[in-house]
Amino acid sequence: MDFNLSEEHLLIGEAAQNFAENYLLPGVIDRDEVQKFDKELLRQMGELGFMGMMVAPDYGGGGMDTLSYVIAMEEISKIDASAGVIMSVNNSLVCWGLENFGTSEQKEKYLTKLASGQVIGAFCLSEPEAGSDATSQHTTAIDKGDHYLLNGTKNWITNGDTAEICLVMAQTHPEKQHKGINVFIVEKGLAGFVVGKKENKMGIRASDTNTLMFTDVRVPKENRIGDDGFGFKFAMSTLNGGRIGIAAQALGIAAGAFELSLKYSKERRTFGKPISEHQAIQFKLSEMATKVEAARLLVYKAARLKDEGKDYIQASAMAKLYASETAMWVTTEAVQVHGGYGYVKEYHVERLMRDAKITQIYEGTSEIQKLVIARELLK
Ligand code: CAA
């Protein structure tokens, strides 16, 4: 597969790298410490077009391809993986889902604001008892004629506090199992919609992750996306693309940790020479670089298949599986290369190691990716 990066792809990568190095890097350690993302940075990301990269310009987006999106995701996540996940959920779950399955009225009303970064969105599938087993939705949406009555709890919701627009999956016809699930656009501020506990996380600490609670929330009928019972298909189709975004985030984390290790290995001296001249370190660097490159090829391949309108279910699961396992492995090695310095915050690699872990869990654990790949291989 020839990726044939265009001048535009290269410029997007450069713009994302400049933004990350000049604006995200300075406060990244503090934001991790205080567990808060900067509203001004979010505004700048919107202004630079990073929040709705693939959305058509008619709806306020950048009209770019998936390859451009993953190139930008890698650069942003190299420096700040929290910014990466905020961006990924907004782009590939919320905006993509709305653009591909929403009505023109829904797009006009919500997508335009989301794609330009005026507001951000959240994707609300997981529940206390429905993580990997996503068909087991306990949140209910009862049809009341002109509206649905929404009741239930959603867990581990990225952007849960900051998001103003939430895409919420809920069960309307339990007897139909996953075919009875619907998806709704639910605005913050509706009576009965409460933002609950903020999680105190291991990694991606600057992004907010909350429990969301719904008690008799009246959701207008026109806010349902797709036909009655389309919700689970919506979630699965959207996650196929979301997994490319998270794979790109994982790639960025791995590439960031590798680059820091390469640089450090030339500066740090032991036994009379830079540690880069010790074979023990050279072998680590070689393996890190090889895995990062392999992850990048899988991420680009999934993005290209999506851009070409081909089936990308297996490719996105492979990219997510491999890139997230690589991120965990490379960041652990990066801490080892840095020795004692790697264990303290100033050198960034300990944060990248903590950030890497979640990429093996959200948008489908590594085990779920293997299940998806096996089903594709065997069907
Ligand atoms: N793409 C399209 N359709 C899919 C699909 C996919 N990848 N996977 C399943 N489906 C469809 C099936 O074809 C089936 O449709 P039909 O009934 O029409 O045939 C339907 O979905 C149900 O599928 P299964 O019978 O295979 O259901 P299952 O329960 O055996 O397995 C699962 C489903 C694949 C395990 C699914 O539950 C899953 O992907 N779980 C992981 C959930 C997940 O990724 N959660 C992430 C939360 S969001 C998040 O993390 C965002 C964030 O904030 C960062």
Question: 178 C-alpha vs ligand 1 centroid, how far in Å?
Answer: 9
Question: 134 C-alpha vs ligand 1 centroid, how far in Å?
Answer: 7
Give me the pLDDT at residue 130, please.
94
Nearest CA to ligand 1 atom 46: 363
Question: 195 C-alpha vs ligand 1 centroid, how far in Å?
Answer: 26
Query: pTM value?
Result: 0.98
Map residue 360 onto helix, strand or coil: coil
Tokens at residue 74, please?
């890698």
Query: Buried b / exposed e across 348-377, counting CB within 10 Å, b at 16+?
Result: bbbbbbbbbbbbbbbbbbbebbeebbeeee
* Rg, C-alpha atoms of the chain: 21
Give me the pLDDT at residue 1, please.
65
Residues 6+ apart with CB under 8 A from 258: 285, 288, 289, 292, 330, 334
Beta bridge partners of 148: 143, 219
Q: Where are the beta strands (DSSP E) in 163-305?
A: 165-171, 181-187, 193-198, 209-220, 269-270, 273-274
Indicate whether residue 313 lines ligand 1 (CB < 6 A). Answer: yes
Give me the pLDDT at residue 282, please.
98
From 88, 90, 135, give the residue whose CB has the most ligand 1 atoms within 8 Å, as the site to mutate. 135
C-alpha 242/C-alpha 237 separation (Å) is 9
| Angle ∠(141,117,316) on CA atoms, nearest 5 | 70
Nearest CA to ligand 1 atom 37: 134
CA torsion sign, 168 to 96 to 248 to 310? positive
Give me the pLDDT at residue 31, please.
98
Tokens at residue 214, please?
């719904």
Give me the pLDDT at residue 262, please.
98
- First CA to last CA distance, the chain: 24
Indicate whether residue 184 lines ligand 1 (CB < 6 A). Answer: no
| Active site members | 363
Indicate whether residue 244 lines ligand 1 (CB < 6 A). Answer: no
Question: 299 C-alpha vs ligand 1 centroid, how far in Å?
Answer: 20
Indicate whether residue 352 lines ligand 1 (CB < 6 A). Answer: no
Residues 6+ apart with CB under 8 A from 330: 253, 254, 257, 258, 288, 291, 292, 356
Q: Where are the beta strands (DSSP E) in the chain?
A: 121-124, 140-143, 147-158, 165-171, 181-187, 193-198, 209-220, 269-270, 273-274
Instruction: Spell out the per-residue pLDDT of the chain, length 379, in tens.
Output: 668 899 999 999 999 999 999 999 999 999 999 999 999 999 999 999 999 999 999 999 999 999 999 999 999 999 999 999 999 999 999 999 999 999 999 999 999 999 999 999 999 999 999 999 999 999 999 999 999 999 999 999 999 999 999 999 999 999 999 999 999 999 999 999 999 999 999 999 999 999 999 999 999 999 999 999 999 999 999 999 999 999 999 999 999 999 999 999 999 999 999 999 999 999 999 999 999 999 999 999 999 999 999 999 999 999 999 999 999 999 999 999 999 999 999 999 999 999 999 999 999 999 999 999 999 999 9
Written as one letter, the residue type at 149 is L
Beta bridge partners of 274: 269
Q: Where are the beta strands (DSSP E) in 232-310?
A: 269-270, 273-274
Residues 167 and 215 sit within 8 Å (Cβ to Cβ)? no
| Ligand 1 closest atom vs CA 159 | 53
Indicate whether residue 360 lines ligand 1 (CB < 6 A). Answer: no
Nearest CA to ligand 1 atom 4: 236
Map residue 214 onto helix, strand or coil: strand
**DSSP-derived secondary structure letter, 187:** E
Give the DSSP per-residue string, 331-363. HHHHHHHHGGGGGSGGGSHHHHHHHHHHHTTTT
From 178, 355, 370, 375, give the residue whose CB has the most ligand 1 atoms within 8 Å, as the site to mutate. 178
Beta bridge partners of 99: none
| Ligand 1 closest atom vs CA 85 | 54
